[in-house]
Amino acid sequence: MLKLLRPDDWHLHLRDGDRLVHTVFHTAQQFGRALIMPNLKPPVVTLAQAEAYRQRILAATPAGSSFQPMMVLYLTDNSDPREAAQVAASNTVLSYKLYPAGATTNSEHGVTAIEKVYPVLEQMEKHGVPLCVHGEETDSHVDIFDREKAFIDNTLLPTLKRFPGLKVVFEHITTKDAADFVRDSEHNIAATITAHHLLYNRNAIFQGGIRPHYYCLPVLKREVHRQALLAAAISGNPRFFLGTDSAPHAVGAKESSCGCAGCYTAHAAIELYAEAFESVNALDKLEGFASLFGADFYGVERPTEIITLEKSDWTVPATYPFGNEQIVPLRALETLRFRMVGAA
């Protein structure tokens, strides 16, 4: 049995509308807070839109839950630099999100060239507002497995050089290159790591045929990169913390001729992380990674509630409801070794 402070999820997709009641349910069972990604249709680009979305999430939160959504603004070529000061003063909007245009789901409104948002980044640096980044180069000539490294070289390094005081969260890192860069950087940069990138390498996508429910962006990489991510996660270095990037897509959207990118892990997020940490005898490092380091980086209070994980095999259902459709969770019909059994 393992007790730890209730974790926070510092990278989460919930979607919207009648689907919220299902996605929020899973996250609220495990996490005290979650940083909600703004890539809706249309995207969440203003404080007013973020507050309206937050209220819809709260309305879908189970009765009696203390879960709190923390919001993010979608950075575009036309974002108003003056709004950064208002974000800094907000209690519920914590950061901006940089999606390179075309990088992932609903990123068509993203930034087309980093120079176009320099005025916003200048104000963010001035007011201490963090920038969350989807760190992939989108040039079609760059190999999909090299997109993260290319982003470091072509975008992240020049940006940090120009704005050395900017707080950056390099989200869902997938490579040894990114882990090394964050660990060794002199800048105020941290990184989130997903459970699926800690547990799987790119073979998982192709075992026995194409397995669309393991397809995500950034895509799973070679085993050497998975090992590097696991080493970073268990290192106790506060630059690395939990962000599930749980991304729900209906079955038909995933299992199609052009399937959506994203793994749904919210149903068993902390159990999956525990499995990864136990695989290298590092369960004692899980609380810092899951419950402390993210709160410290974002400058919010650490959690106080306790959850309990026990060794208890259970089988993940084949599907979960997703509005009027169904979603296939990661590890569907497979056995998990940990189960969250309560909170205090």
Q: Three-class SS of residue 242? A: strand
Known binding-site residue numbers for substrate: 13-15, 39, 134, 217, 249, 261
Backbone angles phi and psi of 218, in degrees to 5: -60, 145
What's the order of all strands across the beta sheet hosting 131-133?
9-12, 33-36, 68-74, 93-98, 131-133, 168-170, 189-193, 240-242
For 281, counting Cβ atoms within 10 Å of its Cβ (0-12 exposed, 13-18 middle, 19+ buried), the class is exposed
Question: What does the alpha-carbon distance between residue 188 and residue 181 come to, in Å, rounded to a whole number?
Answer: 12
CA neighbor of 125 nearest in space, from 93, 159, 151, 172? 159
Residues in the chain: 344
Q: How many CA atoms lie within 13 A of 227 on its CB side?
A: 3
Q: What is the pLDDT of residue 343?
A: 59
Pick the CATH number of 9-303 from 3.30.360.10, 3.40.50.970, 3.40.50.300, 3.20.20.140: 3.20.20.140
Specify whether the backbone of 156 is left (phi greater than 0), alpha (psi in -120 to 50) or beta. alpha
Please write the tens of the pLDDT for every residue from 98-128.
998 876 776 788 899 999 999 999 999 999 9
Q: What is the pLDDT of residue 120?
A: 98
Question: What does the alpha-carbon distance between residue 222 and residue 332 come to, in Å, rounded to a whole number?
Answer: 23
Q: What is the pLDDT of residue 110?
A: 87
**CB atoms inside a 10 Å sphere around CB 48:** 9
Strand partners, 320: 327
Which sequence spans correspond to the domains of the chain?
Answer: 9-303
Mean pLDDT across 33-47 = 96
Question: What does the alpha-carbon distance between residue 73 and residue 320 come to, in Å, rounded to a whole number?
Answer: 29
Mean pLDDT for the chain overall? 96
pLDDT at 344 over 60: no
For 165, counting Cβ atoms within 10 Å of its Cβ (0-12 exposed, 13-18 middle, 19+ buried), the class is exposed
DSSP conformational letter for 208 = T
Known binding-site residue numbers for Zn(2+): 11, 13, 97, 134, 172, 245
Mean pLDDT across 312-324 = 97
Question: Which active-site residues does the annotation give?
Answer: 245
Please write the tens of the pLDDT for every residue from 205-216.
999 999 999 999
Strand partners, 336: 314
Known binding-site residue numbers: 11, 13-15, 39, 97, 134, 172, 217, 245, 249, 261
The interaxial angle of helices 269-278 and 20-30, nearest 10 deg, is 40
Beta strand pairing call for 320-322 and 189-193: unpaired
Mean pLDDT across 276-299 = 98
